[in-house]
Amino acid sequence: MPRIPRVRGRLAALLAVVVLLVAGGVVLLRDGDEPPRYRTQDATIDVAAAPGSADRVQLDVTLYVPEQTPAPAVLLPHGFGGDKNSVAREARELAERGFVVLAYSARGFGESTGRISLNHPDYEVADASRLLDYLAGLPEVAKDSAGDPRVGVTGASYGGALALLLAGTDRRVDAIAPVITYNDLGQALLPNAASTGYRDPGTPAAGAGSAAGVFKQAWAGTLFSAGIGAPSGSGGPGPDAVEPGDEVDNDEAGTTAPGAGTSAVPPTASTPAPALDAASGTCGRFSAEICAAYTDVATDGRAEPRTLDLLRRVSPASVTDRITVPALLVQGESDTLFGLDQADANARQIADAGGEVSVVWYTGGHDGGGPGPKLRGTIGDYLWHHLTGEGSDPAAGFAYDVQGALRANGAPSVRSVEAEDYPGVGVGTTERRQVDLTGPEQQVVRPPGATPAAVSGIPGLNRVVANSSRLSGLFSVDPPGQSASFTSDPLDSQLLVTGSSTVRLRITPQGARGGEAVLFAKLYDVNPDGSRVLPGSAVSPIRVPLPADGSSVEATVTLPGIVRPIESGHRLQLVVGTTDQAYATPAEPATYRISLADGAPLSVPVVPGTTVTGGWPVGQLAGIGAALVVAAGVAIVAATRRRRSHRVDPELASTPLVITGLTKAYPGGLTAVDDLSLRVEPGQVLGLLGPNGAGKTTTLRMLMGLITPSAGEIRVFGHRVTPGAPVLSRIGSFVEGSGFLPHLSGKANLTLYWQATGRPSDQAHVAEALEIAGLGDAVHRKVRTYSQGMRQRLAIAQAMLGLPELLVLDEPTNGLDPPQIHQMREVLRRYAATGRTVLVSSHLLAEVEQTCTHVVVMHRGRLVASGAVHEIVAAGGEATFRVDDPQLAAEALRGVGGVSRIDVDGTLVHADLDGLPRSEAIAALVRAGVSVEQAGPRRRLEDAFLQLVGEGDGSA
């Protein structure tokens, strides 16, 4: 009986266990399946198109009716860009809980008609009141009195704001549970975190108007695009749509796509700009009023007073002083659209009005996902308690989630903390800790056009980098010279930041007088190794008026509300910058000096509470066990593949590159590279040649690990190349645009690039790379002053950083004039002379002939020739002789058997030797009395190339 290899045997056994567990789980699920305990009914409800109008708008609704009625009702609006189907999961869960649920598509979304007015009291809010009338007429709905249904309202983001607005407008609402929503849309989209003291985030700043706030352009553009993406009646889920399966469980942070209030990637440069139809006064599905407001603020990043007035009118802040019903406010801790400050403002204003408020912060949000099953269950229980009086309040007081380090299975650990009272995010916080920061006064510059801009995160993708210092470093970038930083000493114990920290800054303008400073502040968690995490990817924009005399001004900066455990040994770092890609930043250049005001400390909020530990649901154990076993199996397979792929072939350990049987085929029958094999030795300068479509670029992309071959393999110094393989660090490459920062010097650009790789600075060898590139003193000049040739040489120097043993260059002489090409040739020769290897892909055949020692010619994905340049050139047998008597030489060569096609060109005689050794032809000439001054191959590399790829005629 054959012996099964140990790894395969273990894997087979493991998979068998997985099959049994999964099968068992399926059986358990089947045994527990029950038909829905509710029925559904679709309907269309007419509402007035506008106050006093005879025109009608049709709202598409679905009614969920439980088995036992009459029952309390829940009105369930959806997020922005979604429709009634976006909240189907929540509707089903509430119906199974025993509620009559009415889910509907708001006007302008899904199959509903009308135009979007952003929860305007005369439109969307009036529509919701009409839906309460509809519920009041249903016998299945419990009533407080005739025409007054017993009803609660819950929804996320856009739907959450509707819940608040309706509760402040229609007294028939009995309880609300808004999720990840806003208080004042103007303050949310044009925040301003600087003041002379703490300001309630929901209250307009003094002098609010066109100068207040810094426009959150990335998020606003995303939302606007969702509103114009399709005509009314065909809208699909958008940036706030709640999709089934999109969630973050507050027991265990999920890694799936976000749900309630799910985020969308902001429009990119390739996304067509929304067209504003000035003639009709509309844009997409938006009303003319909303269209005009967006045009106002998006044009220059400033909102006129009429726009701010409109945004406040369509915001819950306009009615929170009239909300007195029980309110559960659920807000996400990972939310760059609507931060914790927005829920804080709602909580304070409702409490001041006499309402009963409970607050829950969870680890999700627009950047982190919708509530998970447990939190959704809490929302359902909360509404049931307050609509029926049964049971106890499941969400009294304040609760927040704390996301900790990653567990072994890759999911972050999460614990819930409960406090008796909600303290708020600002000065009302129960306890504050003062943390000293150090750092001198620093000069910061806003470059012309505000580019390049700092990156604090990517709205909608920030959840991908959550809790990861490695990924956070990729999505949190502060360009040199544009930010000031102030850092604490390492903490001696864990500090749980819970809310908004504050700090007082001194800002001194340089040059310009008066006006205002627009700055961006953020608080990093710095690991002992120096890597940083920006909690929640959150940033506070600051717009500070400057004195007309050019003197300094002080401002108290309120940082974003976060929940973050700063571990012992970590440091806090305050960074104040001049740009941020998510916000509209003034394009004019500016310079400021920034310091801590009189050494003011960072004031950090802390909310003590009791950690709540929940038990595991027994019914989920089989599924959890199966999932863990599957994960373990995947890990074993991946580890086995990694070990195999990382094995070194000792015979090739000193060989820079060996390609064997390399093939890349695409669907549809296209084969870009077909069974390519080649070998490159140390010290060679290899030219990769071929016409367009020959497969050169595909080969280079496979070499760099960017795409995976269909067959064959690539080995670099004996290591097999795979995506992310460690051996790729031994390759330097220049295959795309360099992307240098124009306002920095060449040397500063190289230093910044190397720092981004995360490798030690002493391994960069910047000086050596610059010496080989031959830039001289120009390395200290700003890149914007460079010629094209200097930029190309700087790009080559960047590829040479770390002195990689294999240098891969794609068209390095593009855009260079003849002297610059000559200089580049010398750069590559000098680099190869150090014993390293250079691979060059180029279409300049004459240049390759003079630069490269060896060439590889590809055609239609296949290798057609390879070898030393002189061998390829001489392969055709054509020769040229420089003689003293050309006519006598021609006669002598005609008498040699096999020689043909003899041409005389001055003192030169060209002949096709047809395999005859050149030495024999020279001997025949000498016997005929001809003096031969020079002899050599006639063809150029270009001639050989054209013949090899079938485009030459074989003539000289």
Place of tokens 């829940």: 74
- Beta-bridge mates of residue 932: 883
pLDDT bin (cut points 50, 70, 90) of residue 124 is very high
> Rounded to an integer, what distance in angstroms lies between the CA atom of residue 625 and that of residue 616?
12
Quick one: CATH architecture of 35-210+227-264+305-422? 3-Layer(aba) Sandwich (3.40)
Residue bearing the bigger pLDDT, 611 or 802: 802
Q: Are 664 and 702 in contact (CB under 8 A)?
A: yes
Name residue 217's amino acid.
Q
Query: Which of the four pLDDT bands, split at 50, 70 and 90, describes residue 636?
Result: low
- What count of other Cβ atoms lies within 10 Å of the Cβ of residue 409? 11
Contacts of 906 (CB under 8 A, 6+ apart): 886
- Least confident range of 79-83, 411-415, 539-543: 411-415
Tell me the average pLDDT across 412-426. 72
User: Can you give the pLDDT at residue 502?
Assistant: 92
Distance of alpha carbon 49 from alpha carbon 53, whole angstroms: 6
Q: What is the pLDDT of residue 916?
A: 75
Q: Which of 35-39, 146-150, 547-551 has the lowest mean pLDDT?
A: 35-39
* Across 58-63, average pLDDT: 96
Confidence of residue 35 (pLDDT cuts 50, 70, 90): low
Instruction: Note the pLDDT tens digit of each residue in 67-122.
Output: 999 999 999 999 998 999 999 999 999 999 999 999 999 999 999 999 999 999 99
DSSP state of 326: -
Least confident of 275-289, 354-368, 559-573, 917-931: 275-289
- Specify the residue for token string 């299975």: 409
- Beta carbons within 8 Å of 306's beta carbon, 6+ residues apart: 293, 296
The domains spanning 431-610 and 877-938 adopt the same CATH topology: no
Q: Are 730 and 761 within 8 A, CB to CB?
A: no
State yes or no: pLDDT of 585 exceeds 50. yes
Alpha carbon of 535 to those of 55, 490, 540: distances in Å? 49, 18, 12
The CA distances from residue 560 to 193, 333, 340, 849, 855, in Å, are: 8, 10, 8, 60, 58
What is the pLDDT confidence band of residue 865, given thresholds at 50, 70 and 90? Answer: confident
pLDDT band for position 276 (cuts 50, 70, 90): very low
Summarised one tens digit per residue, pLDDT across range 643-673 is 555 567 888 888 899 999 999 988 777 888 9
For residue 633, give the nearest of 15, 6, 8, 16 by alpha carbon.
Answer: 15
Contact 822, 784 (CB under 8 A): no
Please state, in angstroms and rounded to a whole number, the distance separating the CA atoms of residues 409 and 407: 5
Assess whether pLDDT exceeds 90 at residue 834. Answer: no
Instruction: Specify the amino acid at residue 512.
Output: A
pLDDT tens digits for range 878-889? 778 888 888 888
Where is average pLDDT lowest: 63-72, 388-397, 672-681?
388-397
Rounded to an integer, the average pLDDT of 49-63 is 94
If you average pLDDT over residues 593-621, what whole number do you get?
72
Q: Is 508's pLDDT higher than 50? A: yes
CATH of the domain spanning 431-610, picked from 3.40.630.30, 3.30.930.10, 2.60.120.260, 3.40.50.1370: 2.60.120.260
Q: What are phi and psi of 154, to 5 degrees?
A: -140, 155
How far is Cα 813 from Cα 811, in angstroms, rounded to an integer? 6
Residues 6+ apart with CB under 8 A from 811: 841, 842, 843
The closest of 679, 676, 489, 477 to 573, measured between CA atoms, is 489
Please determine, for residue 529, whether its predicted confidence score (pLDDT) is greater than 60: yes
Per domain, the residue ranges of the chain are 35-210+227-264+305-422, 431-610, 651-870, 877-938
Return the CA Rg of the chain: 35
Q: Does the pLDDT of residue 641 top 60, yes or no?
A: no
pLDDT band at 29 (very low <50, low <70, confident <90, very high): very low
Contact 864, 906 (CB under 8 A): no
Contact status, residue 591 vs residue 443, Cβ threshold 8 Å: yes
Fold of 651-870: Rossmann fold (3.40.50)
- Burial string for 295-319 (b: 16+ CB within 10 Å, else e) reads ebbbeebbbeeebbebbbbbbbbbb
**The pLDDT of residue 597:** 92
Confidence check: pLDDT of 809 > 70 = yes
Of 150-154, 480-484, 804-808, where does the model show the most confidence?
Answer: 150-154
As a whole number of angstroms, the distance between CA 205 and CA 195 comes to: 8
> Which of 247-251, 547-551, 936-940 is the least confident region?
247-251
**Torsion angle, CA of 68/74/80/82, rounded to 10 degrees?**
10
What mean pLDDT, rounded, does the chain reach? 79
Say if CB 167 and CB 526 are below 8 A apart. no
Q: Are 217 and 57 in contact (CB under 8 A)?
A: no
The H or E element that residue 151 is part of is strand 151-156
Q: Quick count: other Cβ atoms within 10 Å of Cβ 665?
A: 15
In the structure, what pLDDT confidence band is assigned to residue 818 with cuts at 50, 70 and 90? Answer: confident
Among 453, 364, 376, smallest CA distance to 400 is for 364
- Identify the DSSP state of 394: T
Segment 159-164 shows an average pLDDT of 97
Q: Please determine, for residue 253, whether its predicted confidence score (pLDDT) is greater than 60.
A: no
Greater model confidence, 641 or 502? 502
Neighbours of 87 (CB within 10 A): 30
User: What's the fold here for domain 877-938?
Assistant: Alpha-Beta Plaits (3.30.70)
User: Smallest Cα–Cα separation from 228: which of 157, 185, 291?
Assistant: 291
Q: Which of 11-25, 451-465, 669-683 has the highest mean pLDDT?
A: 669-683
Could you give the CA distance from residue 349 to residue 294 in angstroms, rounded to a whole number? Answer: 27
Average pLDDT over residues 830-846: 80
Q: For 824-894, where are the E strands, in sequence order? A: 837-841, 854-859, 862-868, 878-883
Structure tokens at 267: 């429009």
Residue 891 has pLDDT above 90, yes or no: no
Q: Report the pLDDT value the prediction gives residue 145, as an integer from 0 to 100.
A: 95
The predicted structure's pLDDT at residue 939 = 53
Please state, in angstroms and rounded to a whole number, the distance separating the CA atoms of residues 424 and 183.
14
Q: Is residue 638 very low, low, confident or very high in pLDDT (cuts 50, 70, 90)? A: low
CA–CA dist 877, 866 (Å, integer)? 17
Q: Which pLDDT value is given to residue 270?
A: 33
What is the C-alpha to C-alpha distance for residues 202 and 102, in angstroms, rounded to an integer? 30
Helix (H, G, I), strand (E, B) or coil at 591: strand
Backbone angles phi, psi at 872, to 5 degrees: -65, -40
Decide: 349 and 204 in contact? Cβ < 8 Å. no
Q: How many CB atoms lie under 10 A from the CB of residue 916?
A: 18
Residues in the chain: 956
Q: Which of 33-47, 410-424, 773-787, 898-912 has the lowest mean pLDDT?
A: 410-424
925 has a pLDDT exceeding 60: yes
Cβ atoms of residues 340 and 561 within 8 Å: yes
pTM check: above 0.75: no
Count of beta carbons in the 10 Å neighbourhood of residue 839: 25
Question: Which of 116 and 269 is assigned the larger pLDDT?
Answer: 116
**365: closest CA among 232, 267, 259?**
259
């061998």: which residue's tokens?
Answer: 871
Q: Is the pLDDT of residue 421 over 80?
A: no
Measure the CA–CA gap between 501 and 425, rounded to whole angstroms. Answer: 8
Question: In angstroms, rounded to a whole number, what is the distance separating the alpha carbons of residues 260 and 807?
Answer: 48
Q: What pLDDT sits at residue 84? A: 95
Nearest in space to 535 (alpha carbons), one of 545, 525, 526, 550: 525
* pLDDT-above-70 percentage for the chain: 77
Instruction: Indicate the pLDDT class of residue 761, thresholds 50, 70 and 90.
Output: confident
- Collapsing DSSP to helix, strand or coil, 324 comes out as coil
Task: Give the residue, 96 or 778, on which the prediction is more confident.
Answer: 96
Most confident of 146-160, 302-316, 930-944: 146-160
Please give the Cα distance from 126 to 619 (Å, whole number): 44
Which pLDDT band, with edges at 50, 70 and 90, does 4 fall under? very low
Q: Distance between CA atoms of 895 and 892, rounded to whole angstroms?
A: 5
Q: What does the pLDDT read at residue 60?
A: 96
- Asked whether the beta carbons of 582 and 457 are under 8 A apart, the reply is yes
Nearest-angstrom CA–CA distance, 878 and 903? 11
Q: Residue 771: in which H helix or E strand, if any? A: helix 766-773
Q: Is 881 within 8 Å of 909 (Cβ atoms)?
A: yes
Q: What is the pLDDT of residue 183?
A: 95
Residue 399 has pLDDT above 90, yes or no: no
Pairing of strands 731-734, 806-810: parallel
Angle at alpha carbon of residue 790, lines to 787 and 796, rounded to 5°: 145
Q: Which two tokens stand for residue 214?
A: 């810094």
Distance from C-alpha of 106 to C-alpha of 241, rounded to nearest angstrom: 12
Task: Determine which helix (DSSP H) or strand (DSSP E) holds 17, and give its type and residue range.
Answer: helix 6-32
Specify the DSSP class assigned to residue 515.
S
Are residues 937 and 874 in contact, defined by beta-carbon separation less than 8 angstroms?
A: yes
Identify the residue with better confidence: 357 or 408. 357
Task: Give residue 464's pLDDT.
Answer: 56
Instruction: Provide the pLDDT confidence category of residue 170 given band limits of 50, 70 and 90.
Output: very high
User: Of 763 and 47, which is predicted with more confidence?
Assistant: 47
Asked if 604 and 426 touch (Cβ cutoff 8 Å), the reply is no
Q: Mean per-residue pLDDT for 496-504?
A: 91
pLDDT confidence of residue 653: 84
Nearest to 330 by CA among 141, 573, 160, 89: 160
Give the pLDDT score at 901.
Answer: 77
